[in-house]
Amino acid sequence: MTVYIDDMYRYAIGQFKGMKMSHMISDDEDELHDMAMRLSLRRAWHQGDHYDVPLDAREKAIRFGAIVISYRQASAMRRRQVVEGACGDPAEAVAWLRRWFATRNSGLSAAPERP
C-alpha cells in the first residue's frame, strides 16, 4: 500500500488560517494513520478518508515515502475510493473520473457508490 500527498497548498482552497495545506490519502487506513502519527498529526484531525497536512509536515511525509500527486489526482482518487473501494493508479485517476462522470450522466448503470 502507498500513502499519497497532493499539492492542494498551491490553490486558494489549500489556504487555512495562514497555513498551506495538502491532502494525505491512502487505500490502507492503518498506513494512513501510521504516517500521520510519524508526522505528529492528531488522530482527531482525520477527516474520514484523508488528513489535511500543513506544508512542513508535507515535506516530512515525502521524506518518509509519501508519493506526490496533484490536487486533481487526489480528488479523482478519493471519488474512486468511494465508488470502487480503492484509490487506483494516480496516473489514470483523472481519466477514470471523466469516464465515471460520463457514465453517470448518460444514465447508464455505473458501479454503485458505497455508503
pLDDT tens for each residue of 3-25: 999 999 999 999 989 999 999 99
- The number of distinct structural domains making up the chain is 1
List the domain range (segments joined by +) for residue 97: 1-115
Q: Mind giving me the DSSP string for 56-88?
A: HHHHHHHHTTPEE--HHHHHHHHHHHHHHSS--
Checking if the pLDDT of 109 tops 90, the result is: no
Mean pLDDT of 31-59: 96
What is the pLDDT at residue 41? 97
Task: Say what the pTM is.
Answer: 0.87
Q: Residue for cell digits 473520473?
A: 97
Total count of residues recorded for the chain = 115
- As a whole number of angstroms, the distance between CA 70 and CA 57 comes to 17
Q: What CA dihedral angle connects 50, 53, 59 and 65, to 10 degrees?
A: -20
Q: Which residue from 105, 104, 76, 79 is spatially nearest to 90, judged by alpha carbons?
A: 76
What is the pLDDT at residue 107? 74
Checking if the pLDDT of 1 tops 80, the result is: no
Checking if the pLDDT of 54 tops 70, the result is: yes
pLDDT interval class at 108 (50, 70, 90): low
Cell numbers found for residue 55 = 506544508
